[in-house]
Structure 1
Amino acid sequence: MRVLVVDPDPARAALVAEGLAGVEPLDVRHCAVFDHREAAAFEPDVVVVASDSPDRDTIESLREATATNPRPVVMFVDRSEAGLAEEAVRAGVSAYVVDGLSAARVRSVLEVAMSRFALMNQLRQDLEKAKADLASRKTVERAKALLMKERGLEEEAAYRLLRKLSMDTGRPLGAVAADLLAFAGVLKGDA
């Protein structure tokens, strides 16, 4: 497991490494402030941020880093202001623990955070796929309507024609439908 520990206090950062004793293979790196370039170069499996109190700059840096390169992030903070936990979670933090950093808890907190991250990542991917599928279906429906209008076809015949074009070209049905709509727009002078 590759762990990046971000903490200005080396003694507190050592608690994280101590809590991961026995994890094999283990590569723990420590830095005083979060640097998304360093995180990207190291490619950690999990980022652990420990501090007295989180600051908005760190949370914003995490937001930027997780947007481009998502990974589980755990924050251990000694104290927290109202709203910071929600802001941290919105920035991609998988676990936000207040006044709970101890070597005995580190491993279990990281495991839960990594599992939660994997679950949330899968949900995000499923949502994106569902959105893409819906957009493709809408495009296919519009292309069928165009074929029905322009060629006087029944709905089933229009769909069979789109499907045949898809198979003949080896391209997805949605892509063929999008091309048909684009070409129709060009021919009508819409583009």
Structure 2
Amino acid sequence: MARTALISDTDPGVVLSLSNELYRVGFTEIEVCHDGINAVDKAFGCYPDLVILGLDIPGKNGLAAAVEIRSRLKIPVLLLAERCDAEIVKRAADNGIAAFLTKPLRTQDLAPAIALAVAHTEEVEVLRERIEDLKETIEDQKVIEKAKGKVMELNGLTEAAAYRLLQKTAMDRRKSLRKVADEVLGKGLY
């Protein structure tokens, strides 16, 4: 399976070292650019599996480019820096940046950083999906509870009886309980 990486840094030696190591660990295509604006454009054009950005690249610094890329692509992004302060690390962490690599680059650090970044990014995405599912479930429950209350009020039913009526209607109509609840609230079904 083809794996693509995007590298953006101004140091040709670093780009060459990163490229060689990425090929060694299984990447088959390496896209290269030397500024943040092109990095963002290339990322949105080639949808790489991994992005490595120099923190001090021109046009748009690496952190700004990384934040923009991460906002649309749920892929691991690593930053490469000679130094970084606590504020930059916090901003990077808050925006889903997977790891920092330091210059001078030690190629033996790259494979573990990539492995951790990929695992971390996948884990975060699974958690985000779960959160979205839970939000949807909570919203469904709120709507169902409102519909149940309306059915209780209109028909003089107990809570349990109103819920059973909603469930039976959903089964009879082969619709979800949420859709029946929406109908009750929107059309005054009962």
Task: Provide the TM-score with structure 1 as the length reference.
Answer: 0.85
| Shift in Å, 1:164 | 2.4
Residue aligning to 2:155: 151
| Cα distance change on mapping 1:97 and 1:33 into 2, 3 Å | same
Superposed CA RMSD in Å reads: 2.3
User: 2:118 matched to 1:114?
Assistant: yes
Deviations, residues 148-176 of structure 1 (Å, cap 9, x unaligned): 01111122221122122322333321232
State the distance in 1 between where 2:122 and 2:16 align: 26
Range moving further from structure 2, 89-98 or 7-16: 89-98
Question: Where do 1:70-89 residues align within 5 Å?
Answer: 70-89=74-93
Range moving further from structure 2, 13-22 or 129-138: 13-22
| Shift in Å, 1:56 | 7.3
Residue aligning to 1:15: 17
In structure 2, give the amino acid aligned to 1:155.
E
In structure 2, give the amino acid aligned to 1:17.
S
SS state at 1:83 partner: helix
SS state at 1:71 partner: coil
State the distance in 2 between where 1:55 and 1:92 align: 21
In structure 2, give the amino acid aligned to 1:27.
E
The match for 2:129 among 125, 129, 140 is: 125
Gaps of 5+ in 1: 185-191
User: 2:169 matched to 1:165?
Assistant: yes
Residue aligning to 1:189: none
Contact 1:148 1:155 in 2 (8 A): yes
Deviations, residues 91-112 of structure 1 (Å, cap 9, x unaligned): 2211123446221111111111
Considering Cα pairs closer than 8 Å and 6+ residues apart, tell me whether 1 or 2 has the greater RCO: 1
| Cα distance change on mapping 1:31 and 1:154 into 2, 3 Å | same
SS state at 1:20 partner: helix
| Cα distance change on mapping 1:50 and 1:28 into 2, 3 Å | same
State the distance in 1 between where 2:178 and 2:92 align: 38
The match for 2:69 among 65, 72, 76 is: 65
| Shift in Å, 1:135 | 1.3
Residue aligning to 1:104: 108
Residue aligning to 1:180: 184
How many residues were matched structurally?
184
Range moving further from structure 2, 168-177 or 72-81: 168-177
Task: Provide the TM-score with structure 2 as the length reference.
Answer: 0.85
State the distance in 1 between where 2:106 and 2:141 align: 51
Residue aligning to 2:8: 6
- Among the aligned pairs, what percent are the same residue? 26
Gaps of 5+ in 2: none
